Chain A
Amino acid sequence: MIELGSAALTLAFLTALYAIVAALIGRDGDRRWIESSRRAVYALCMLLTLCVVVIEIAFAGDDFSFNIVQQHSSIETPTFYKFTAMWSSQEGSLLLWAWVLSIAASAALFATRAKLREIVPYATAVMMGVAAFFVGLMLFAKNVNPFAGLDPAPADGVGLNPLLQHPSMMVHPPMLYSGYVAFTIPFAFAVGALITRRLDAAWIRSTRRFALIAWAFLGIGLLLGARWSYTELGWGGYWAWDPVENAALMPWLMGTAFLHSIMVQEKRGMLKVWNVSLIVATFSLALLGTFLVRSGVLQSIHAFGDSTVGPYILALIGVVLIGSVVLISSRLDDLRSERRMDSLASREAVFMVNNLLLIGLCAVIFWGTFFPLISELFTGDRASLAAPWFDRYTTPLAIVLVLFTGIGPLLAWRRVSWRSARRIFIWPAAIAALAALLLALTTDAASNPWALALFAFGAFALTGLAQEFWRGGAARQAVSGGSMAVAMVAVAARNRRRYGGYIVHAGIAVLLIGIAASSSFQTNRDVSLRPGQSTVVNDYRITYERPTASVNDRAFTFGAVLDVKKDGERFALLNPTRRYFRPTGTPTPTVRSFFAGESTSEVGLKAGFKSDFWTAVQTDISGIERRARMADERFREVMAVLAQRVQRDPAQAPAAARFARDVLDRTAGRVAELYSSQAPAATFRVIVNPLVSWMWIGALIALIGALIAIWPSAEARRRRVTSLYGARLGRELSRA
């Protein structure tokens, strides 16, 4: 199997190189070479699929002659995690990168098979250059070949880190990678357009869907990471301005700017330099994100080890940046705008402002993330910036952005007259003012002016978007009759890109309201309670009912049953726990060895529309560890006796092993029982988090909106078929 995978990977490398050569030979219009290069891309996709399948089969079948399987899985690893353990390894994640790229490249070339004749060969070369880079990395860099073997094969593997054994952690990396990778497509076509000086909006029209898909995937990845942090790590936050988080957020913000400004180019033929620069920046930031996880350059809670591939990726970023800057500056003449901006009160002007805000946000995050390196350069001291610094800049920028999510879609292109502006904005502004007034009077929202401003702007945006839907529906209803709801759905279905965009904006507004409320008005308390004791946090009375403890062959689980009452009535019965994992891959455990491995938190969460009640427990296990040490001493005595017996009569070895396991199980069980009968005080973190569920709901709305915008409408499909037919007809006629 290893040989098969190795051969497929080597072949994949050669195929990618061939695709580059074939595309470049055929660049002047030799269809056969171009066809051949496209087929080579499909072949690359199949070869890399084969590699992935081989690895997955090895994981499923516990084939520990694969180094990657031995290091990241074990016989005990649950089946679901065996299939997803591939990308928790360095080499597996590189393979994932290359594989997803080959799929995206195949899809892009299939979609453009009869279009962009001149651009496609260069775009193919760029995409395959990146693919060859990543495949080559696996083949030639040190210690990252997924098909490295072990001879002889060990009997068991090291296992997967329990912290990573969480469903969202398994979906999170492929989502992020797919996001990073899909930005390669618009980048490659932009480079192709620059080289061939075909700088109208055709390359954008063909690849904007890929940019939107990349944006959506990256967004899902970010969201799953935040969700994991909120429910799995016992600190109760969803965002920490950690370098690796920032590294994924930056390309997302830059991609958001790109998605907006390309509309200006499509509609008005403006911002051409801007658009090619944005996609170069987005792609470079995506590479930078890939690089940061694999370097050790910045300190982060995220896992990185010193690895060998960092410098290569940095070199690739350098090549991309320098090459792009040279290319763009040599094409400045062709990138001149076709039109000038007519008025500052127009959609294109607002999009421009929105772009500047997003880039400003990105610049702030970039500076803060790399500040340790910057300060070391200037002062010789590594100094870092904490969350408050990030908040100081990102908060006002986010607030203004929310306002623009409401303003942008309402304005017309070119120029908006005062009269129509008044008509459009009167309702949103009135509702926003009303919302601000109500919130200031009935809640303590006024204590935080930033948050109050964000709520008001959020209300503005949501009202404006709802009004757009209403106006679209009303116009439709006037023509075709029927109910308003049907008319609204019909008009949205006909203009998916536009209305999908509105839905995304509404989702983002809801999400930002959730972030503002939960970060500004949360109650966060640490309390120490003994079993039977109670405490009061806000309107909630929390009683530590009883401790819980259990043990299985993988982990000890200590926890607490919390009875939460609100207004004298039961609000929730929560069971936050903390698990202590035995390091996997150790032959036979002692009781103490359970406390030598990883530990994870399972939070007790009662989610609600108005607020979440969140709690995690920190158990004091010092007493337990003492008991475990005592138990282990006795256990060792038993083991010594057993060993003597086995020495006298080797045939008894299996029985002795069974007996030892049995004794250990019972000892561990007793230790767990002891904890539940005489638990010491435990520290509980209690968080009352207002509107945090709005964040997840908003993100979901945005995702649905993105899907609507991505999905081609029946009409567009018809148009495409007609244009394909037209193109073919034209070709035949020219030949005739």
Chain B
Amino acid sequence: MDPARKRQIRLGVALGVAVLLAAALVYTSFSASTEAREPSQLLSANPGKTYELTGKVVPGSIERSGDELRFRVADRDGSRSLPVSYRGAVPDPFRDGREIILTGELSEAGTFVGERDTLITKCPSKFTEEAEEDPEHVVIDE
């Protein structure tokens, strides 16, 4: 076989393999991905399907019993909220009012049950100023 033809075949094989791999990548990513939802969208969702819940922790709703963490998550605009139950690692910045991302599914009872160790808390940005103001702070002038 002459070298030019050999090179063409080689190139063709390489391209074919690349295309196949790319197709596999695309296919698996669409089937393996979880869709992101806010609480209000989940209120009417089917139990048993896995979603990625995003929203804000409702202030004052965090309860801990044993290793189970229970809290409510509200839409970013704060309108509707959903009860959540979660076990696993809790990131350091987790607290009232923080934005979270949690993978899990809706139980029959309407509680969103998170998978272990999937809780992600968005950091308060280091790039935007966030002077937390708590009205309960007592101010003493010196």
Contact = CB atoms under 8 A, between A and B. Distances in A.
A499 to B, nearest CB: 32
B35 A657 contact: no
A307 interface: yes
Interface in B55-89: 63-64, 66-67, 87-89
The prevalent SS among residues of B at the interface is loop
B132 A618 contact: no
Contact of B29 (A389, A596, A599): A389
A299 B139 contact: no
B142 A654 contact: yes
Contact of A384 (B28, B33, B63): B33
B64 A620 contact: yes
B122 A597 contact: no
Given A299-B101, A305-B128, A389-B28, A233 B91 contact: yes
B36 A384 contact: yes
Interface string A563-590: 0000000000000000000010111111
23 contacts: A90-B127, A161-B124, A234-B91, A301-B121, A301-B123, A303-B123, A305-B126, A363-B22, A364-B25, A367-B25, A367-B26, A367-B29, A371-B29, A383-B30, A383-B34, A383-B35, A384-B36, A385-B32, A385-B33, A389-B28, A528-B67, A596-B132, A598-B93
A: contact size bracket = 35 or more
4 residue pairs, one from A and one from B, having the closest CB atoms: A305-B128, A305-B125, A383-B33, A235-B89
Contact of A590 (B54, B64, B93, B136): B136
B140 A657 contact: yes
Interface in A206-263: 232-236
Contact of A234 (B89, B126, B134, B142): B89
Contacts of A293: 127
Contacts of B101: 299
B: contact size bracket = 35 or more
A161 B88 CA distance: 25
B1 interface: no
Interface string A298-309: 011111111100
Contacts of B128: 305-307
A603 B69 CA distance: 21
B108 interface: no
Contacts of A90: 127
A639 B93 contact: no
A340 B63 CA distance: 68
Contact of B140 (A302, A303, A656): A656
Contacts of B88: 526
Given A306-B128, A385-B29, A385-B33, 7 more contacts: A234-B91, A304-B127, A305-B127, A392-B28, A393-B25, A596-B132, A635-B138
A683 interface: yes
B123 A593 contact: no
B90 interface: yes
A382 interface: yes
Contacts of A360: 21
A140 to B, nearest CB: 18
Interface in B35-57: 35-36, 52, 54
Given A234-B92, A599-B92, A683-B67, A587 B127 contact: no
A301 B36 contact: no
| Residue in B22, B28, B123 whose Cβ sees the most chain A Cβ within 10 Å | B123
B131 A158 contact: yes
The prevalent SS among residues of A at the interface is mixed
Interface of B: 3, 14, 21-22, 25-26, 28-30, 32-36, 52, 54, 63-64, 66-67, 87-93, 95, 101, 103, 117-118, 120-129, 131-132, 134, 136-142
Contacts of B52: 383-384
A386 B103 contact: yes
A565 B134 CA distance: 45
A685 interface: yes
A384 B35 CA distance: 6
Given A163-B123, A371-B29, A235 B117 contact: yes
A389 B32 CA distance: 7
Contacts of A586: 132, 134, 137
B91 A372 contact: no
A388 interface: yes
Nearest to A388: B32
Contacts of A616: 89
A631 interface: no
B122 A299 contact: yes
A367 B28 CA distance: 11
B71 to A, nearest CB: 12
A304 B140 contact: no
A89 interface: yes
A253 to B, nearest CB: 16
Contacts of A201: none
Nearest to B21: A360
Contacts of A301: 91, 120-123
Contacts of A526: 67, 87-89
A30 interface: no
B140 A588 contact: yes
A145 interface: no
Contact of B142 (A596, A622, A632, A653): A653
A289 interface: no
Given A158-B131, A299-B122, A364-B25, A588 B67 contact: no
B40 to A, nearest CB: 15
Interface in A368-384: 368, 371-372, 375, 381-384
